[in-house]
Chains A and B, each alone.
Chain A
Amino acid sequence: MSALDLINPTSGLYQKREPVFPRVVNGRFRRLKWAVMIFCLAVYYITPWLRWDRGAYAPDQAVLVDLANRRFYMFDIEIWPQEFYYVAGLLIMAGIGLFLVTSAVGRAWCGYACPQTVWTDLFQHVERWIDGDRNAQIKLNKAPWTASKLTRRLSKWSIWLAIAMATGGAWIFYFADAPTLAQQFITGTAPFVAYATVGVLTFTTFALGGFMREQVCIYMCPWPRIQTAMLDEKSLIVTYRDWRGEPRTQGVKKAAAAGEKVGAKIGDCIDCNACVSVCPTGVDIRQGPQLGCINCALCIDACDEVMGKLNRPRGLIDYLNLDDQKHEVAGGQPKPILKTLLRPRTLVYFSIWAGIGLAMLFTLGERARLAIDTAQDRNPVVVQMSDGQVRNGWTVKMRNMESRPRRVELTMTGLPQGRMWTDAMARSAAARSVTLDLAPDATTKLQLYVVAPAGPAGETPFALVARPLDEVAGSRAAREAARDVKFIRQ
């Protein structure tokens, strides 16, 4: 009893969380859930430790978000900040993918792959391992705080905390060299932000996975609202076939025992509550689609088990879309699921999704790894030289996006009498081309001067062509040019 209970004890200003103790269940969807869970956790924990050889000038971590140096590495793909549109493309793909999955199989993301679901599932397995299954958990929850209960609680929380710390700990390795950071983290020499991140993620994992659970889905998450709006009459949702299950056997028997007149039909549902007891969010699927249902399909497994024992066909609770529901209520036979999945809407979504992915892959393969940017000096534009010639200046940025030093020859085309030199040279060495050594995976900035004889005022366009001198045999001859360069006389 807290002080808050005194605010308004009758009208219910707030609602206490009803604890949920889901029973263990086995079946096809539980096995699928195991597989997805193991896959997701494995990807999450193992990825930062994969090594990938990129030579001496780039990190050897397969997936690395190098925020300090503003580089993103993913296997053979390296992305610079100005190529962030690839990440935007991935986000668009994720969005379209959400449309696709939701219109086809409803809230599958919620039920199988959402981190909240995966970690809650993991925590519930730990809970069962320590406390026993549903009934033992309910009993222990009601039991007074004895030494035994305290021991169980402390050991459960310790394991949760360890998992939570590992979760937070894995996250930071995506942002720095994992072995180095791990060593720093243990010896206390890691950056503060690493400890802060692990701390925050440990807390959120522990609290959300251990205690908040379905409250996150029902009260915090916008996803259920968004996804509900994206479902249509062909989307698969976990459905109780009430036309087959009702009236429930127990209700009929009770009514008969009470001497009431009973109709001829007795439904398949025996009101055993198996579907409710296995539900990780504590809903009763027989009340129809609802916000709390994350479509994890564990109730399908539970009900199938019971139907099997009763020698009734499986699927009293099943994935079913609204159209097929109407069809079956009208007496039709169940339709194959494939027809539901392959329909114009899902195919259009898939085409858009795949099209974006293919376009990104194509541009990734075609993108230039050497780039030249020129910015003409604007103050002053024209400098009169003592020998009567005039000089223009440019700030030239050469981006070498490959992880190796490169030697490039920068040549003028056009402006026949022009000569150029850089701030690293003397004017006496001015020529039609200069050779530049570009640092690996970096932008080399240099000041370029061009002199040409004085002449009538005006602009003379010319081009600066960068030609790699170190092109290995067989590779694409990547010439990059700044073509809209103008020599100005006035």
Chain B
Amino acid sequence: MTDHKPDIDEATGTKFVGHEWDGIQELDTPMPRWWVYTFVACVVFAAGYVVAYPAIPDTDGALGWSSRGQLADTLKAETAARAPRLNAIAATPIEQLASNPQLMRSAIEGGRAAFKVNCVQCHGAGAAGSKGYPNLNDDDWLWGGDIAAIHTSILHGIRSPGSDEARYSQMPAFADMLERGQIQQVVSYVRVMSGQDKPTRGSRAGAALFAENCASCHGADGKGNREMGAPNLTDGIWLYGGDRASLTQTIAKARFGVMPHWSEKLDGVTIKMLAAYVHSLGGGEANPAPPAPETATATASPPAVDTASTATGAANVSS
């Protein structure tokens, strides 16, 4: 600045600052006064802001605000907002949940979230299961596929140690009871039963063995028994595989799949919501018909799914 004497710009009559870049000079145009006032107001505001909010490390602002506290408030508000729906789900018997479509939707969405936390470890993120862990999307149910049956399975578990009410059944390991050849004959018969193979001499021998050893649980026709979780052997779905090797292993050594009882780990509402979610995956069955009254020849109505009585219906409306 010492060797630059500020001079005046002719066009504007404004002083130069004294800086020059390639012939372009900076004018010393004064700022408007209101701008200076605005600046001062910002400084004053900043001072108040520093006091009110936690601007200095390791101190609380005068207002006591914190982002953690804000999160806690948000969660609290969210919990409060959800309470009425959760209470309604708690108050509704599981069989009647589907008769309130809106409540059912809430339950399904809540179940979807709970499923991702508690169930995906075995059943997979898409509930498609894997060997030994049932696929919950299909229409094959070992212990029943209506919402109440699913609810019971989740609540008390399957062969779950520590629960007296868990669904329980045990298939014997036939390696101790049948010869190896006999086991292979039963395998052949089961594969015929499920339409995978044509009848052979071995399978016909197996049929007799089946009637003697297996029919008590799986039924004479092999269609299983949900009362004791005995799988249907005639359908296309195999929990442990329908090939010869898997069937041999199953018959010789038996299987003993366990699902924990969730009654001690999850609250009742969450379990209901999980049941609703699993029921919604595409294989859910209608509620069983109530016990028939005296007039047994009542109109035989086709089994109706509760979520809709007609073929038409807007399922999930959102904008």
The interface of chain A, by Cβ under 8 A from chain B, is: 4, 11-17, 69-70, 212, 215, 219, 377-380, 383-388, 391, 393, 407, 422-429, 431, 434-439, 441-447, 449, 454
Q: A215-B32, A437-B312 are in contact. List 19 more A-B contacts (CB 8 A).
A: A4-B33, A12-B28, A14-B33, A215-B34, A379-B125, A380-B126, A383-B137, A384-B135, A386-B138, A387-B236, A388-B236, A423-B282, A424-B307, A424-B312, A434-B311, A435-B311, A435-B312, A439-B314, A454-B236
- Whether B307 pairs with A423 at a CB distance below 8 angstroms is yes
Name the contact of B313 in the complex, choosing from A379, A422, A427, A442 (C-beta under 8 A): A422
- Whether B34 pairs with A379 at a CB distance below 8 angstroms is no
**Number of residues on chain B facing chain A (CB within 8 A):** 43
Q: Which residue of B lies closest to A212 (CB)?
A: B34
User: Quick one: CB contact mask for B21-61 with A, threshold 8 Å, 1 for yes?
Assistant: 00000001011111111001000000000000000000000
A299 to chain B, nearest CB (A): 21
Q: With A15-B30, A380-B128 in contact, is A447–B303 under 8 Å at CB?
A: no
Q: Which of A13, A16, A386 has the most CB of B within 10 A?
A: A386
- Whether A386 pairs with B311 at a CB distance below 8 angstroms is no
Q: Which residue of B lies closest to A438 (CB)?
A: B314
The 13 sampled A-B contact pairs (Cβ below 8 Å) are A12-B30, A13-B36, A15-B32, A215-B32, A386-B139, A386-B237, A391-B137, A427-B139, A436-B313, A438-B314, A442-B317, A444-B316, A445-B316
Interface residues of B in 99-142 (CB under 8 A from A): 124-126, 128, 135, 137-140
- Whether A15 pairs with B31 at a CB distance below 8 angstroms is yes
Q: Which 8 pairs between the two chains have the least Cβ-Cβ distance? A: A379-B126, A424-B313, A380-B128, A386-B235, A424-B308, A446-B315, A15-B30, A426-B305
| Complex Cα–Cα for A454 and B235 (A) | 13
Q: From DSSP, what is the main secondary structure of chain A's interface residues?
A: mixed
Q: Which of A11, A69, A444, A454 has the most CB of B within 10 A?
A: A444
Q: Is B215 located at the chain interface by the 8 A CB criterion?
A: no
| Complex Cα–Cα for A138 and B59 (A) | 54
- Whether B313 pairs with A425 at a CB distance below 8 angstroms is yes
Q: Is B195 located at the chain interface by the 8 A CB criterion?
A: yes
B70 to chain A, nearest CB (A): 18
B135 to chain A, nearest CB (A): 7
Q: Is B319 located at the chain interface by the 8 A CB criterion?
A: yes
A203 to chain B, nearest CB (A): 14
Q: With A393-B282, A443-B318 in contact, is A379–B128 under 8 Å at CB?
A: yes
Q: With A15-B33, A379-B124, A423-B307 in contact, is A445–B315 under 8 Å at CB?
A: yes
B56 to chain A, nearest CB (A): 28
- Whether B317 pairs with A445 at a CB distance below 8 angstroms is yes
| Complex Cα–Cα for A384 and B36 (A) | 75
Q: Which residue of A lies closest to B302 (CB)?
A: A428
| Complex Cα–Cα for A380 and B281 (A) | 11
User: Quick one: CB contact mask for B292-309 with A, threshold 8 Å, 1 for yes?
Assistant: 000000000011110110
Q: From DSSP, what is the main secondary structure of chain B's interface residues?
A: loop
Residues of chain A contacted by B125 (CB below 8 angstroms) = 379
Interface residues of B in 238-292 (CB under 8 A from A): 280, 282-283, 286
| Complex Cα–Cα for A270 and B280 (A) | 90
Residues of chain A contacted by B138 (CB below 8 angstroms) = 383-386, 391
| Complex Cα–Cα for A442 and B317 (A) | 7
- Whether A446 pairs with B135 at a CB distance below 8 angstroms is no
Residues of chain A contacted by B28 (CB below 8 angstroms) = 11-12
Q: With A215-B32, A444-B314, A444-B317 in contact, is A380–B137 under 8 Å at CB?
A: yes
- Whether B235 pairs with A423 at a CB distance below 8 angstroms is no
- Whether A447 pairs with B34 at a CB distance below 8 angstroms is no
| Complex Cα–Cα for A387 and B312 (A) | 25
- Whether B235 pairs with A69 at a CB distance below 8 angstroms is no
- Whether B314 pairs with A437 at a CB distance below 8 angstroms is yes
- Whether A70 pairs with B236 at a CB distance below 8 angstroms is no
| Complex Cα–Cα for A343 and B80 (A) | 67
Q: Is B232 located at the chain interface by the 8 A CB criterion?
A: yes
Residues of chain B contacted by A434 (CB below 8 angstroms) = 311-312
A8 to chain B, nearest CB (A): 10
- Whether B236 pairs with A385 at a CB distance below 8 angstroms is yes
B7 to chain A, nearest CB (A): 15
Q: Which residue of A lies closest to B307 (CB)?
A: A424
Q: With A379-B128, A386-B232, A443-B318 in contact, is A425–B30 under 8 Å at CB?
A: no
Q: Which residue of A lies closest to B194 (CB)?
A: A388
| Complex Cα–Cα for A447 and B284 (A) | 14
